[in-house]
Structure 1
């Protein structure tokens, strides 16, 4: 048998279904709605996905910034729980749209922003995804450095041949390259396959971190952190509480916008999206508590308050313990980097360049761009830029608000999935832009701008203007919601209202396209015989049927 290899092409394989007819500029195979046979995420998949996301170094360190403003560890846990209780509702609301229409975030955004207007949230999310991918890769590199140092202690003292102004040593650069390369195979995986990575991480990492928690309570007899009292009171206490709440919410504000990138693969009822409401506060609060206990125990034993877990475990005499715990943090960084950053950035890049970028290429492009950002220099010296990206979450509150309000209130859960792929459809609005979304977005962002500027450059005195920013996500979300709903009721987009939702399965069934994949990449009409991979297949089935039979090859 002669082997044939497919020639690589600059352009990606286009979608070939009813959604792609006449509008290749706005779709490719990865952007079209997920078909029935590709929906493989179950309730367990979503549980392990969030368990995987919850156990990461950022969540471990939540309490550090909260305690730094004068609050206690008890208040930090309450703040984390409240923050994720709030954000879980928004994640559920926007994630439900993905379950219903099985389309990614960039496509769903067209319904509320318009086709060209959707570039505002898409570009915003793409920039954040690439930036945080590079930062998380650096965090993973630090874990790899500790792992190698546990096996080969002299690695930690390797002569440095990199200029000091670069902010990175030779051993850390080697670790960065190793972790970056380790991520590449996972970046090439389909989201349906990645759910197994999240399953493995949701088992191994919690086991390791529970072991750390046991060590913390067994090894230290006097943990001073647990006896602390708040060092601020009155208005300073209230503003510190709100600012900390906003900071924690901001860490996961991105997923409140683009949860549909994952929920689109769901095979279970939309009601299961409400699972996030109890799950997220429990998981993230527990992770924060592990960080508090371990850091407090380390301070009691070593005389240093190390919120960075790699600095903490560097004191451990057992090389095996250092290796396996550092490996758990490396795995944690890998999982969250894919779930929160690379996959999301890939969907955004796919929407921006659908003819040339698919999800796989988008993730690889995200990984390549992470080098261009030189994250080690950002972490070492570019504090203002790091503050800018951290503060960028104030823009995501209004974006999440517009998308949630548009689907659940303005359009009353009635979207036309087919029209989301047709630029001259009911979602064209005015020259492809929904002005209501643009106006609401700027109204929601404007009050936060003085504090936003001050967070980047503390030398700029904005007076009381800093206070709106201290609860900026909440202000932006609810302020934008109020304005968007008001504009939608006073100036309703009549052309976008439909009597009944048009779901992707309705379109697939009505058009007669097959539901099951073939060895080729094209979909064919029922009853039509075409050559694919040099063999003929016949597609059979009943139009409108939920589960179509697999096509059988005729020998």
Structure 2
């Protein structure tokens, strides 16, 4: 009797990809995860988005906003005012760019092609992915510190473990162990699709707020308002103004990422784009409240434990608690907070960007895993050594994203009159978003440089204080606002002065038209031109110079 051979499925370097109706035979620009989300995959409703933002807001960085601003010379009043104003401003941009994803159900890297061109979009994508991985790494440090406190509450000698890592490395052995533990616990979540991971946000939006409100109650019971509420600004004159602007730029920088790529999540929406307007009142309220918790808790800890400096790091505050159970559960809330925000704001965003760079080899799951692996090489614990370093990093984070957000916002809502051709965003052959033979919109590139260049001297000075740039440091101190406004003016002016008629389509072409039709007429090599709608039914695209009809595309 012949025993059949057992066939083992070897892992493939290339990602699994059916023939895409949007790629039209050219897999260079998409894969299954980059294609528009079909109706069956749109599972995010109002509860999902509300819990997502509550989950995203409750993290150690938000706690540290106001307290780190106080550490550089302002009072608690100015701190809360800066946080409220910053999120009021950024909420409009998040809502506007997020609405595009909920209408067209496509991610940020694909939307960027409409304003930057196919190859030009890589400027925005690479800028975004670098910062996403950096922030992922920083949240790993926050999570590691929380895990360290949790282990220390169970095993106190862990906190006094002998350090075998050189002091100049900026991290101790027990912290590195905690970093590894947090990373390993986090790893399975990097393999979960956004439609399923939304339940993590729901759980976090219940557990973490409850824990932090309990800490707020403790703060007022322990020390009332605390000495911090009696402090006045320690800076004045022009220095006060520049510190104020620099602090606002730092707060804006933290969520400048989602002002660019909110569509990576809103693409899964099953509800109207109008729900994105919920962010405008919601975000300033939530983030200001969390910052207030950070101020109250830091103030109580400063007064109660007579610390030499304000414990703006919440884990430092928790370490003073006598109750080991309280230390464990308090630290657990911050570990969960870091885990949730790392998935919601960083790993999924980085994965979308990495997919767009190499769609044949990277899907959403692989992209998240790559993000997690690369984060080890960034030595993020050195960024968080002090309040000033934290603010400097956040400022640097913002100067690149303000211009990108501005270009995308005005391109859709003003220049293109809220009309994109979804099919053309996957097919440069249609000539709609080609711009030129290099597939780059020079208007976006020039506008981006105008928004970024003025802040570069200040960025160099923040990285190396030995580089004296004089007054050149000031543009950097309000880099997000300067970049956003400057880029907006230049991009709109260039787009009207040098219009691209092919990109101004007569009507919006949505993904559902293609999915409903189940077929698409593609442009053959015989010639390409501006795509037209010939009235043959939804989703059928005809190009001048040669038309070929291809059927049998998989609809998923």
> TM over 0.5, yes or no?
yes
Show the 5 A alignment for 1:32-43. 32-43=35-46
2:165 aligned with 1:165: no
Q: List gaps (5 residues or longer) in structure 1.
A: 514-542, 546-555
Show the 5 A alignment for 1:266-285. 266-285=269-288
More displaced stretch, 5-14 vs 113-122? 5-14
Deviation at 1:75, TM superposition (A): 1.2
Counterparts of 2:196 and 2:154, CA distance in 1:
31
Deviation at 1:389, TM superposition (A): 6.9
Counterparts of 1:150 and 1:104, CA distance in 2:
42
Counterparts of 1:192 and 1:455, CA distance in 2:
39
Deviation at 1:424, TM superposition (A): 2.3
Show the 5 A alignment for 1:143-542. 143-221=146-224, 223-304=226-307, 305-376=310-381, 379=384, 387=392, 390-425=395-430, 426-430=432-436, 431-512=438-519
User: Is the Cα–Cα contact under 8 Å of residues 253 and 393 in structure 1 kept in the other structure?
Assistant: yes
- Provide Cα deviations, 1:241-295, integer angstroms capped at 9, x if missing partner: 2221111101111111111100000000000100000110011101100000000
Q: Which residue of 2 aligns with 1:529?
A: none
Deviation at 1:371, TM superposition (A): 1.8
Other structure's SS at 2:196 match: helix
Counterparts of 1:385 and 1:39, CA distance in 2:
37
Q: Which residue of 2 aligns with 1:108?
A: 111
User: Is the Cα–Cα contact under 8 Å of residues 355 and 367 in structure 2 kept in the other structure?
Assistant: yes
What TM-score do you get using the length of structure 2 for normalisation?
A: 0.89
- Provide Cα deviations, 1:354-384, integer angstroms capped at 9, x if missing partner: 1110010000111111122233455569x98
User: Is the Cα–Cα contact under 8 Å of residues 165 and 171 in structure 2 kept in the other structure?
Assistant: yes
Other structure's SS at 1:137 match: helix
How many residues matched?
514
Other structure's SS at 1:392 match: helix
From 8, 12, 15, the equivalent of 1:12 is 15
Q: Which residue of 1 aligns with 2:140?
A: 137
User: Is the Cα–Cα contact under 8 Å of residues 16 and 29 in structure 1 kept in the other structure?
Assistant: no
Other structure's SS at 2:424 match: helix
More displaced stretch, 196-205 vs 442-451? 442-451
Deviation at 1:219, TM superposition (A): 0.9
Q: Which residue of 2 aligns with 1:520?
A: none
User: Is the Cα–Cα contact under 8 Å of residues 378 and 386 in structure 1 kept in the other structure?
Assistant: no
- Provide Cα deviations, 1:370-412, integer angstroms capped at 9, x if missing partner: 122233455569x989946751310110000000010000001
- Provide Cα deviations, 1:295-327, integer angstroms capped at 9, x if missing partner: 000011001121111111111010000000100
Counterparts of 2:337 and 2:128, CA distance in 1:
22
Counterparts of 1:222 and 1:280, CA distance in 2:
25
Query: Are residues 217 and 388 of structure 1, via their aligned partners in 2, closer, same or farther at CA, if it must alter by over 3 Å?
Result: closer
Counterparts of 1:385 and 1:290, CA distance in 2:
19
Other structure's SS at 1:232 match: coil
CA RMSD of aligned residues (A): 2.1
Query: Are residues 165 and 229 of structure 1, via their aligned partners in 2, closer, same or farther at CA, if it must alter by over 3 Å?
Result: closer
- Provide Cα deviations, 1:55-85, integer angstroms capped at 9, x if missing partner: 1100101112322332210111011000000
User: Is the Cα–Cα contact under 8 Å of residues 251 and 394 in structure 2 kept in the other structure?
Assistant: no
Query: Are residues 499 and 59 of structure 1, via their aligned partners in 2, closer, same or farther at CA, if it must alter by over 3 Å?
Result: same
User: Is the Cα–Cα contact under 8 Å of residues 384 and 390 in structure 2 kept in the other structure?
Assistant: no
Query: Are residues 476 and 378 of structure 1, via their aligned partners in 2, closer, same or farther at CA, if it must alter by over 3 Å?
Result: closer
User: Is the Cα–Cα contact under 8 Å of residues 379 and 386 in structure 1 kept in the other structure?
Assistant: no
Other structure's SS at 1:168 match: coil
- Provide Cα deviations, 1:143-191, integer angstroms capped at 9, x if missing partner: 0010011011111122223333333222112111110000111100000
What TM-score do you get using the length of structure 1 for normalisation?
A: 0.89
More displaced stretch, 13-22 vs 132-141? 13-22
Query: Are residues 94 and 412 of structure 1, via their aligned partners in 2, closer, same or farther at CA, if it must alter by over 3 Å?
Result: same
Deviation at 1:227, TM superposition (A): 1.1
Deviation at 1:461, TM superposition (A): 2.5
Q: List gaps (5 residues or longer) in structure 2.
A: 521-536, 540-556
- Provide Cα deviations, 1:322-364, integer angstroms capped at 9, x if missing partner: 0001000000000111111111111111111111100100001
Query: Are residues 4 and 42 of structure 1, via their aligned partners in 2, closer, same or farther at CA, if it must alter by over 3 Å?
Result: farther
Counterparts of 1:500 and 1:331, CA distance in 2:
45
